[in-house]
Structure formats: C-alpha cells, structure tokens
Amino acid sequence: MPEMMKAAVYYSHDDVRVEQRPIPEIGPDDILLKTLASGLCGGEAMPWYKKSEPKVLGHEPVGEVVAVGRNVTEFKIGERLFVNHHVGRVQSHWSLRGHFTRDPYYSTTRLDPGAMCEYYRVTAQHLRMDVRRIPSTISNEAATTIEPWSCVIGGLKVCGIKPGDTVAVVGAGFMGQGFVHMAPLFGAGKVVALDFSNWRLQKARELGATHTINPAETDAVEAMRALNNGLLADSVIVIAPNAKAWEQAVALTEVGGTLHLGAPLAPKTPWVLDGNRAYFDEITITSKYSSDQTDTYTYFRLLDAGRIAVDKAITHRFDIADAPLAFKTLVDAGESLKIIVYPQGLPTAR
C-alpha cells in the first residue's frame, strides 16, 4: 500500500483541488476500501450545507476491501461493498421511534476522509449498521446510486401514495428523476414531472413520467387540472431547494393530498402557508432527511431485482484528475443528472 492518495478537496464553489492526502490508518475494528467509483451529490452544490472547508468531496461510493482490522472476521479482502456514509444507532429516543437519521449521533459518523478519493476508512459502527455486499449483477456505477436513491425510497415511504394516485414531482434533477422513476413501485398512476428544462423533462419521460409540465411555458396548475380530470395531484414532491418551487408545489396539491418536502431550503428562509387553506384542505406535509439502513436495504433489493433503470440517469463520468470540471458540471446544472468520478481512473469498459 502507498502512503499517499489523490483526493478531490472542496475549498469553495470556485476552488476544488486534487491533492495528495494520507491514506487513512485503520483500527482493529475498521476496514479500508479502495474507491471504485463515487457519485457527486446535488447537496454538494449548496454552499450553506457544508459544515467546514476544506473538505474531501463525495459520499456515494462503492469500494473494494483492501485491508481489514485484526478483529474483523465478517468481511474479506477483495469483496465489493456499499457502506452508507452516515449510520445511526439502535438505542436512542429517535431511533426507537424510527427516526434513525435525526438522532444527533447519525451526523457524527462518516466515511474517512470522504469518498472522492482513492481509499476510505469504514468504522465498526458502519459495519454493524449499514453495509451491503455487491453481487456481480450490479455494476459499480449502479452501486453508486444506492445512497442517493435510498433517500428517495425513504421519502416515498412517507408520501402516503395510494394505488392509482396522481403524483407530481417539482424539480427533475437526479433526485427528482428518482421520485419519478420509483413512484409507480409505490402505486402511483399518473406521474407528472415539472421542470424549467425541457431536456430534463425528456429524461423524466424516459424514466417513467406519464406527463411533463414546463412552468415557464404554461400555467402549471391549469395544466395539471387539464391532464388529471380537473383535479390537482394527490401527492406532490418538491425536490427543488427554493421557496418559489415550494409555493408551486403547494398550489399543485389536491384537497386531502400530501405535500412532501424532498430537499431543504437554506437556513432562515421564510415559508408561509395560507392558514385558512392549511386547515380546511387537510393537506399532510411530510419530509425525510437522508437514508437509514431500512431504506438502503429496500433500494438494494429493488436494484438487485432489476427494477431500477440507473443507466438512464447517469450522464457524465470523470477521472479524479478532472474533479474540478466534474464539480463545475454539477453546479452548472445544465444537461446533466448523475455524475460519476473514478478515483482509480476511468474504466476502459463498463
């Protein structure tokens, strides 16, 4: 093993550097993985979301075990693994009530030093709580979607979708595409994607949207009623992190429906509802932060069963040497969805 490795380090939106960093040392209960591929997350494009800089990017990796601590017996060198970047614990108030990701402990755990690097350390708690062996039927690229689209699964679990319901998804980036793609697995009938990008709306069609609406070109509420027999949507999922998108989502929600907040606004962003409508329309508002071990298990089984068309959502691939360009592509949010970075070099064939 070398002593140093390449890592993509975030200093600011305009300053992402590929640096040499020490390969993490593992303890007796840890393992070390070689990063085979890692996805870039849209959350990394929100400056306020980062707690400190500089920071090694990435938390969506698939890795190969290259070293194990002396107390580790369950995992072997050469195995491909998915390990969630944050993991919870069983015995806490929040966990016992099913909110693993809101236990303050959850955010204290992380892959060391991140995932946009050649190697990363995994702790004993990670191995206890949320790890999956990757079978040969699942590619490295597909495995990088386990963390982000498990967050989608967690959201869909609380959306209250009933068989045949009309579901609207406001925002058709990679995460929005996940809601579009998997809502039918939860019983959705019509699935309507909304975005200002016609390119993204076309991708949503490819991933299962039955209808699309561009609010820049038409009145979204009127368009929804026109395609849905005069009704608004039973479940509306807003994945765009801005207040205007949330207002649009409220306007699209039918009486008795569910509004799911799938991405956060920046801290201290005001968001006000009409108190009269909030009472009489009996709209349920839900949210779900990140993914826990039950969500990753559900998504992994769907992926293993061939239910998830991940190839349609992966649009860009970069060598780690080009990580600054990969990050710029993410921030520009043009004709891109999931971006994969290869710390060991781009494969010659996938």
Statement: residue 350 has pLDDT above 70: no
Statement: residue 43 has pLDDT above 90: no
Q: Which of 308, 13, 30 is nearest to 183 (CA)?
A: 308
Convert the pLDDT of each residue in 183-206 to its tens digit. 999 999 999 999 999 999 999 999
Kindly state the percentage of the chain with pLDDT values over 90.
94
What would the mean pLDDT of 49-59 be, rounded to a whole number?
85
The pLDDT, as a whole number, for residue 188 is 98
Residue 83, C-beta contacts closer than 8 angstroms, at least 6 positions apart: 33, 61, 63, 111, 122, 126, 127, 130, 131, 132
The pLDDT, as a whole number, for residue 52 is 73
Ordered by start, the domain boundaries in the chain are 4-150+291-342, 159-287
Q: Which of 158, 183, 165 is nearest to 286 (CA)?
A: 158
Q: Phi and psi (nearest 5°) for 235?
A: -130, 130
What would the mean pLDDT of 97-108 be, rounded to a whole number?
96
The pLDDT, as a whole number, for residue 44 is 85
The pLDDT, as a whole number, for residue 48 is 77
Name residue 81's beta-bridge partners.
63, 133
Q: What is the pTM of this model?
A: 0.97
Provide the pLDDT confidence category of residue 349 given band limits of 50, 70 and 90: low
Statement: residue 108 has pLDDT above 70: yes
Q: Which amino acid is at 181?
A: H
Least confident of 73-82, 244-253, 271-280: 271-280
What would the mean pLDDT of 10-38 be, rounded to a whole number?
97
Q: Which CATH class is domain 159-287?
A: alpha beta
Which of the listed CATH numbers 3.40.50.720, 3.90.180.10, 1.10.390.10, 3.40.718.10 matches domain 4-150+291-342? 3.90.180.10
Statement: residue 2 has pLDDT above 80: yes
Convert the pLDDT of each residue in 285-332 to its tens digit. 999 999 999 999 999 999 999 999 999 999 999 999 999 999 999 999
The pLDDT, as a whole number, for residue 122 is 98
Token pair, residue 142, equals 């597909």
Q: For residues 233 and 271, give the distance between their C-alpha atoms in angstroms, rounded to a whole number.
A: 21
What would the mean pLDDT of 26-34 be, rounded to a whole number?
98
Q: Which amino acid is at 196?
A: F
Q: For residues 57 and 320, give the distance between their C-alpha atoms in angstroms, rounded to a whole number.
A: 11
Statement: residue 1 has pLDDT above 90: no
